[in-house]
Every structure is written in structure tokens, then in C-alpha cells.
Structure 1
Amino acid sequence: MARRPERSHNGGPPLDDYEGPPWGKGDAYIFLAWRAAHDKAWKAPSHAVMLMRLEKAERLGLTYEEYTLEILE
């Protein structure tokens, strides 16, 4: 019987040094859906969008990555 993930678990891959399949001990479908969502969220934006985000990040005193994480949340 499969265990249900904890309420605060996002279904992502394990963070430890597990040497099994990339999806860990859980469901491969959940891992692949999580990976697809991650890739879609971090897809490279157009050059104009990247420059706009960089300018806004600098005005706020953040790095580009920190600013992008904030707007993705």
C-alpha cells in the first residue's frame, strides 16, 4: 500500500543521497509532473522580459534569481 505524502510535501524529488531511481521511493508520475512544472516555470523568458526583471530586481536590491522566485510564488 502506497503511503500518502505529508501535507506540506510538494511531491518533488528526495533531497538526500538516495541512489535509487530519480523519483525516489514514490510514484514516478508525480516526479515527472513535478519535473515538467519545474522546467516550465524556469523556462528562459524572452530577452525583453529578462531585462525588465533584471531592472526591477536591481531597484529592489535583489538578484535576478531572487526576484524571479518571488514572482513565481
Structure 2
Amino acid sequence: MSSFLFLSDFTASKKRRAIVIADLKGEDLILCQITSAVRNDEYAVPLTNPDFEEGSFPTEKSSIHTNKVFTADLYC
């Protein structure tokens, strides 16, 4: 889980699930937001438990939001 800033003035954050889309050299990862809010827009990719080879997600249906990409420090 990673913290996403959810106010435009960067005063608050909330822990959210994310998918690693790139494991960079050093201590950075490029992540993409996952949410249980299923959206039907051009950026949302549906995600369901059968999509996992191992484990599961707490909700049956979720979305990967490909327009919510960010870089995170591996140790933060």
C-alpha cells in the first residue's frame, strides 16, 4: 500500500493499494492507483480476483486507474 495525496494543496494523504508498473534502479517504484470505485472511463482497467495468480483483492471488482501514475520511494 502506498500513500496517495488526495487534495490538490498536498495537505492530506490516504493509504491506497497500487500496482507496480516499473521497479526502477535504486529505491524508486512507478505505481498506478487501484481503487474499489469501478469506473467506466477510457483510463480505467477492470480488475477482478480471477486476474490474480496468487492472493486476492478485498473487493470483487476494482479498477486500475492508468491516469493516476506516480513515483514512490521504496522505503517511505
Bucket of the pairwise TM-score, normalised by the shorter protein? under 0.3
Q: Give the structure with the higher percent helix.
A: 1
Q: Greater strand share, 1 or 2?
A: 2
- Structure with bigger gyration radius: 1
TM-score normalised by length of structure 2: 0.20
Q: TM-score, normalised by structure 1?
A: 0.20
